[in-house]
């Protein structure tokens, strides 16, 4: 087997490597095929089972949500669900303030997180030298690991008093406080995804830009970012997914008043999200009551919204692979 | 060597470049690039040809260059000087890379982009610049009615000529091409080579060909690089028929490489 792939007499360092020759690889393949034994089959089956169970779990969750949520529509007329008053003790089950609260805070958080995240990612991927990158990246990752209750706690004792005093508003527990904290939580996701995307933009693109007499900033803005556009959209979707599902932090800092914002300034008023409602009320609700079923209907709504967001993100990602395939051909 | 030599466009004096990981470097390069000629840099890969091109338009500023010595004079000015205007330099020395890199925009915008950056906004001026650049790159006939399409919709050979046109639109003084035909079919390659012969009337051409054969076909002047060393240089005719150095002779006759 010890074929001398670099026989004496050849000039040294001529650029020819010592790649294994074709027959070697064929032999290796043959050997692999013969060794498919019991262990192999067991491992393959185990992987299959875990893979399928993941899909099954999602389906079961959905089925459960539907089963527990559907009676809502028998108990409460649909017209009553799309009203503006959420006051379950008196029998008012208007979902609109909760949906409005969730959407407002999510969109707000995404609006704050995206520019900050993209800017951070550009800084890490394009501008800062290597040593700085190695310090900054772990910090961003640590940020992702902070439990939401800790962030909520910080929000309650630090951020919200700060907002109350500096903005001179009755309470610091507002939709805006929630947006800022959620943006902070979504930031690591946005930064990592965008940074990965910027990394995949070929170096030749940057060279091409610079060679045309563009400055570094023009190259980033006009070539690197457009080339990574789909990845930035994916980051946005993932950030939105993270924000809309977040419960603990928003429950702690948004004040939990179920009202529909009427005025732009209402961002600085309390709001209540779907997630916070479920978390706050599920513990003290009578099992099987109308309120119980309505909370599941809220969960179902949330599930559908995140499903659509994830679907949108996935379709963008698939689009990207298709385009890169086209570019390679 | 021949007595009557054309005007020198770029004079490289005792240039040495070393990367921090020591992979590819140049040492003791002294070489003249002649105006309105096809100047060819050839040799096996790892010889430092691309490094030289990237040093000339200072793209290497971004790379891991550990040290850089010597002088490079463009029309007598030292372009390696720290205070030299790099943006201006890169407009004077256009470069086309091995793999076509169209910008993610339309064919038309690909060409006008550099111009608008340079401050040209007049629509008619841009239109005529696009037409002239595409004509010079021998691409006009193929894309005249596809200017608004995405540049990615073009074939590989067309994309490469688009990149050439993009460089030409800026009306540089020197066109540098780094293996511009390595990914192209013979017909596209032929078109690019033919284009170069036209272009040298107006520009100085500095090219790293992708094969010895191509080098021999197009070279007015040729320089043979081996492992960071300039083995010899001279007129293409002399170098490919009567090389002075045995290593050059061995390489062009296919003894190694």
Selecting from B44, B170, B227 the residue whose C-beta is nearest the C-beta of A212 gives: B170
**CATH at A188:** 1.10.3720.10
Domains of chain B: 8-252 (3.40.50.300)
Name the pLDDT band for A215 (thresholds 50, 70, 90).
Answer: confident
For residue A250, being part of any structural domain is answered with: yes
Q: CA of A146, closest CA in chain B: separation in Å? A: 36
A and B: number of Cβ contacts within 8 A: 63
For residue A7, being part of any structural domain is answered with: no
Selecting from B101, B117, B256 the residue whose C-beta is nearest the C-beta of A14 gives: B256
Percent of all residues in chain B with a pLDDT value above 70, rounded to a whole number = 96
Percent of all residues in chain A with a pLDDT value above 90, rounded to a whole number = 41
Does the reported pTM lie above 0.95? no
* 8 Å CB contact of B114 and A212: yes
Percent of all residues in chain B with a pLDDT value above 90, rounded to a whole number = 31
Q: CA of B59, closest CA in chain A: separation in Å? A: 7
Q: Is the pLDDT of residue A218 over 70?
A: yes
- The confidence score (pLDDT) of residue A67 equals 93
Alpha-carbon distance A203 to B185, whole Å? 25
For residue A26, being part of any structural domain is answered with: no
Query: Among the residues of chain A, which ranges form H helices?
Result: 22-34, 38-69, 71-75, 78-81, 96-122, 130-145, 148-154, 160-167, 175-200, 203-211, 216-219, 225-227, 229-245, 248-253, 274-281, 290-328
* 8 Å CB contact of B257 and A14: yes
Q: CA of B77, closest CA in chain A: separation in Å? A: 19
Q: CA of B194, closest CA in chain A: separation in Å? A: 24
* 8 Å CB contact of B163 and A208: yes
Alpha-carbon distance A271 to A266, whole Å? 9
Alpha-carbon distance B109 to B130, whole Å? 9
* 8 Å CB contact of B101 and A208: yes
Report the domain count for chain A.
1
Mean pLDDT of the residues in chain A: 84
- The confidence score (pLDDT) of residue A209 equals 85
Tokens of A56: 């099954």
Selecting from B44, B105, B166 the residue whose C-beta is nearest the C-beta of A212 gives: B166
Tokens of A16: 């020819």
| R_g of chain B, CA atoms, integer Å | 18
* 8 Å CB contact of A227 and B104: yes
* 8 Å CB contact of B101 and A205: yes
pLDDT digits (tens, 9 = 90+) for B92-143: 999 988 888 888 888 999 999 888 887 888 899 999 999 999 988 888 888 9
Task: Give the distance, in angstroms, between the CA of residue B153 and the centroid of all CA atoms in the same chain.
Answer: 25
Structural domain containing residue A303: 83-328
For residue A278, being part of any structural domain is answered with: yes
Residues A101, A258 contacting (CB under 8 angstroms): yes
Alpha-carbon distance B101 to A217, whole Å? 19
* 8 Å CB contact of B117 and A218: yes
Percent of all residues in chain A with a pLDDT value above 70, rounded to a whole number = 85
Residues B69, B16 contacting (CB under 8 angstroms): yes
For residue A231, being part of any structural domain is answered with: yes
For residue A70, being part of any structural domain is answered with: no
Q: Please name the residue that has the structure tokens 């915008």.
A: B109
């Amino acid at each position: 087997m010890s074929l001398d792939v670099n026989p004496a007499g050849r000039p040294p360092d001529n650029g020819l490597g010592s790649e294994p020759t074709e027959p070697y690889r064929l032999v290796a393949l043959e050997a692999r095929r013969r060794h498919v034994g019991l262990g192999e089959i067991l491992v393959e089956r185990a992987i299959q089972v875990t893979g399928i169970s993941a899909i099954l779990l999602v389906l079961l969750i959905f089925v459960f949500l539907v089963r527990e949520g559907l009676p809502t529509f028998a108990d409460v007329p649909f017209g009553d669900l799309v009203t503006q008053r959420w006051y379950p003790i008196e029998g008012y089950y208007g979902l609109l303030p909760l949906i409005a609260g969730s959407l407002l805070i999510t969109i707000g958080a995404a609006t704050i997180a995206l520019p900050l995240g993209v800017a951070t990612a550009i800084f890490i991927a394009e501008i800062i030298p290597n040593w700085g990158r190695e310090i900054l990246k772990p910090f961003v990752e640590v940020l992702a690991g902070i439990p939401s209750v800790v962030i909520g706690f910080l929000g309650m004792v630090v951020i919200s008093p700060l907002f109350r005093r500096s903005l001179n508003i009755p309470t610091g527990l507002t939709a805006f406080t929630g947006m800022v904290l959620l943006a902070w939580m979504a930031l690591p996701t946005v930064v990592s995804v965008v940074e990965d995307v910027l990394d995949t933009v070929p170096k030749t693109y940057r060279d091409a830009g610079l060679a045309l007499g563009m400055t570094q900033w023009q190259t980033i803005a006009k070539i690197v970012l457009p080339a990574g556009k789909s990845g930035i959209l994916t980051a946005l979707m993932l950030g939105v997914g993270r924000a809309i599902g977040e419960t603990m932090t928003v429950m702690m800092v948004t004040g939990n008043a179920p009202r529909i914002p009427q005025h732009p300034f209402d961002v600085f008023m309390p709001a209540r999200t779907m997630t916070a409602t479920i978390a706050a009320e599920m513990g003290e609700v009578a099992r099987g009551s109308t309120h119980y079923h309505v909370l599941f209907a809220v969960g179902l709504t949330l599930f559908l919204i995140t499903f659509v967001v994830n679907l949108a993100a996935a379709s963008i990602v698939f689009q990207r692979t298709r385009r890169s395939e086209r570019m390679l051909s | 060597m021949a007595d009557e030599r054309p005007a020198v466009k770029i004079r490289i004096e005792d240039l040495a470049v070393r990367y921090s990981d020591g992979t590819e470097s140049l040492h003791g390069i002294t070489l003249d690039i002649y105006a309105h000629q096809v100047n060819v840099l050839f040799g096996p890969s790892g010889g430092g040809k691309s490094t030289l091109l990237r040093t000339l338009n200072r793209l290497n500023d971004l790379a891991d260059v550990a040290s850089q010595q010597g002088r490079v004079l463009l029309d007598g000015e030292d372009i390696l000087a720290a205070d030299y205007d790099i943006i201006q330099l890169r407009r004077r020395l256009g470069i086309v890379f091995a793999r076509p890199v169209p910008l993610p925009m339309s064919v038309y915008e690909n060409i006008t982009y550099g111009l608008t950056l340079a401050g040209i906004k007049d629509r008619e001026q841009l239109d005529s610049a696009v037409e002239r650049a595409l004509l010079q790159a021998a691409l006009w006939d193929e894309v005249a009615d596809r200017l608004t399409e995405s540049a990615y919709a073009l074939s590989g050979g067309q994309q490469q000529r688009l990149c050439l046109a993009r460089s030409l639109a800026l009306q540089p003084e020197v066109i540098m091409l780094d293996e511009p035909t390595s990914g192209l079919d013979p017909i596209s390659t032929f078109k690019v080579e033919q284009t170069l012969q036209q272009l040298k009337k107006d520009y100085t051409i500095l090219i790293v060909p992708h094969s010895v054969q191509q080098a021999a076909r197009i070279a007015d002047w040729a320089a043979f690089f081996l492992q960071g060393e300039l083995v010899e240089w001279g007129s293409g005719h002399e170098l490919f028929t009567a090389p002075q150095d045995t290593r050059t002779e061995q390489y062009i006759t296919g003894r190694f490489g």
